[in-house]
Structure 1
Amino acid sequence: MKESLERRELGVKRHLVRRFFLLLGLGLLHATFLWEGDILTLYGSIGLFLLLFINRKKKTILVWGITLFILSPLLLLDFKEIDKKNKVNENIITYIEKSITIYSSGTYSEIYDDRNNSDPLEIDELEYLLLLILTPFIGAPLFLIGMYAAKNKWFHHPKNELPFYRKMMLLLIPSGIILKML
């Protein structure tokens, strides 16, 4: 998007900020009135965070991407939840069962009320705010690695890069499966 905006001699940051706030706003509306698992809110918040890296060197982007990738699981550690794990699991099961019933036979107002007032994790407003602030840091590493790949023009000539893609696929798919199993 940056390169396209530059070719058209348009203000890159201005257009991207507007786009990311639009995504964030549409995502919040969608999450409030239609479905809580909206991805647009995540894309908007990550996009705003990534503006910090738009004119950075490739190495800087890679270092930040790898660092955040390694540190992001630590951002989600909540030690008080370890003691409540069984209760949280029971709450989530009850929440899912209730949601299935409401989504399958409830009215829009019942679905809206359930979606905006049920909290299976029983976390307070401060924890929600903290989660909202941390979200870009948790999601950004993969986007930063993607920015690094784009700056290296890894995707400009896919047919020429096919042997590299195959090698990476043979390395990353088994690694991902093993890590996911762990």
Structure 2
Amino acid sequence: MDSKLEPTVEGNRIASLDAMRGFAIIGIYLVNMLSFHSPYVFIDPLEWWGKGIDRIAYLFIDVFAQASFYPLFSMLFGYGLMLMRERAIGRGANFTVFAARRLAFLLAVGMVHAFLIWPGDILITYACVGLLLLFFLRFSGKALLILALAMYTVPNLLLGLLLLLADVAGPTVNLWETYKADAQQALAVYGNGSFQEITEMRISEWIFLNSPETIPITLFSILPLFLFGAAVAKLRLLEESGRHLKKFKAAAFGLLLPAMALKTLPYYGWEGYSAEFFQDFFGGPLLALCYAGMIVLGAGKFEAVAGWLANVGRMSMTNYLFQSILSTFIFYGYGLGLYGKVSAAQGTLLVFAVFFIQIAVSSMWMKTYRYGPVEWLWRSFTYFKVQKLRRRGNA
């Protein structure tokens, strides 16, 4: 039975879907770069990058990228798993087996990434939450959509209101003061430490970022986004995008104003953690939907740009891991040791330089090969069958 399911062939791919993945890759890199070159987790960014072009660069990332691209990528992840399930059922294959192997590979890669490359890894979270997603994929598209909206909105709105009450009740404690020692330790270890010292710091930081207290917040932010993407797949909105142009126009333009209003909340003079919470947890996903709608509407009009992004998106894991490997080599002590010595503006320029290279390399690679190298390994493990890598004309 298992042999009945094969990977998606090129002719059946949805161009706008791959373009969204490619677009998400650069947005994720913009946000991650702040942590690659500086102790972003332990600093007040508006104080650290508080002047001139660095402040402008940070504000650009905070408003247009922060908390807006991981929701987009999370929706795409849920979309992909649902698409795989629908194809498996159509061919009478055992979807659960394939999905379990797919998530197991993702977990293994995530562990290597988190503990040996960079502690800000998202793949471990995707693999673990992805297992929970499997229980919901049998629901109808409408049920998935309602569940996603309820699961995301209710707990996050309650938490946001609690934070708002705390802000109104009195002045908030400046947590950044308590993290000053951690910031200095990160500067010393990542900038000048040995590989072993940096690995120990990576593990310590990963545990800090993924403490038990963060589990409910992670669960009620990531799982609903997975469910939303799965609902879009089951409702066939992208496959039949021509029939749903009004929905994509509403997402692209109707949500833009409320998204930007929320994304700029902390800059209205609203002080406290509640402003940042509503900015990220509500403004971020709304802006992600705007981006998705714009890509669907623009894919046919800007075919060359969409094609470049799609090539990057078809190699999304390879490109994601490459960004981490290259960046940590540039900034960490076992590489060039530039940690803490690069500004927000310089880091942003580096992101665009690397991404343009990734566009060129991905486009050349996809002319000869069907998948990126990591994607090829992932697919071969998922289907327990070595996939054809080279295209027929180049075999």
Contact 1:31 1:38 in 2 (8 A): yes
Matched residue of 2:134: which SS?
Answer: helix
Residue aligning to 2:186: 99
Residue aligning to 2:295: none
Q: Pick from 223, 235, 239: which aligns with 1:140?
A: 223
Distance 2:181 2:130 in 1: 34
Give per-residue Cα distances to partners, 1:125-153, cap 9 Å, x unaligned. xx923534653332111221111111111
Matched, 1:85 2:173: yes
Q: Pick from 226, 229, 241: which aligns with 1:158?
A: 241
Matched, 1:40 2:40: no
Taking only the aligned residue pairs, the percentage that are identical comes to 27
Distance 1:113 1:35 in 2: 11
Residue aligning to 1:116: 203
Distance 1:168 1:149 in 2: 13
Contact 2:119 2:206 in 1 (8 A): no
Q: Pick from 130, 134, 140: which aligns with 1:51?
A: 134
Distance 2:257 2:199 in 1: 41
Distance 1:155 1:115 in 2: 39
- Give the alignment's TM-score, normalised by structure 2: 0.39
Of structures 1 and 2, the one scoring higher in RCO (CA 8 A, sep 6+) is 2
Distance 2:204 2:143 in 1: 42
Give per-residue Cα distances to partners, 1:53-106, cap 9 Å, x unaligned. 1111223211210111113425697999x99832x3123454344324432332
Matched, 1:29 2:112: yes
Distance 2:254 2:180 in 1: 36
Contact 1:91 1:120 in 2 (8 A): no
Contact 1:103 1:111 in 2 (8 A): yes
Residue aligning to 2:98: 15
Aligned residues: 176
Distance 2:207 2:116 in 1: 19
Distance 1:54 1:60 in 2: 10
Residue aligning to 1:168: 251
Distance 1:120 1:85 in 2: 23
| Structure 1 residues 94 and 174, CA gap change in structure 2 (3 angstroms) | farther
Q: Which runs of 5+ in 1 are unaligned?
A: none
Residue aligning to 2:42: none
Pick which of 68-77 and 146-155 moved more: 68-77
| Structure 1 residues 119 and 95, CA gap change in structure 2 (3 angstroms) | farther
Amino acid corresponding to residue 9 of structure 1 in structure 2: G
Amino acid corresponding to residue 151 of structure 1 in structure 2: K
Amino acid corresponding to residue 110 of structure 1 in structure 2: E
- Give the alignment's TM-score, normalised by structure 1: 0.77
Distance 2:244 2:133 in 1: 26
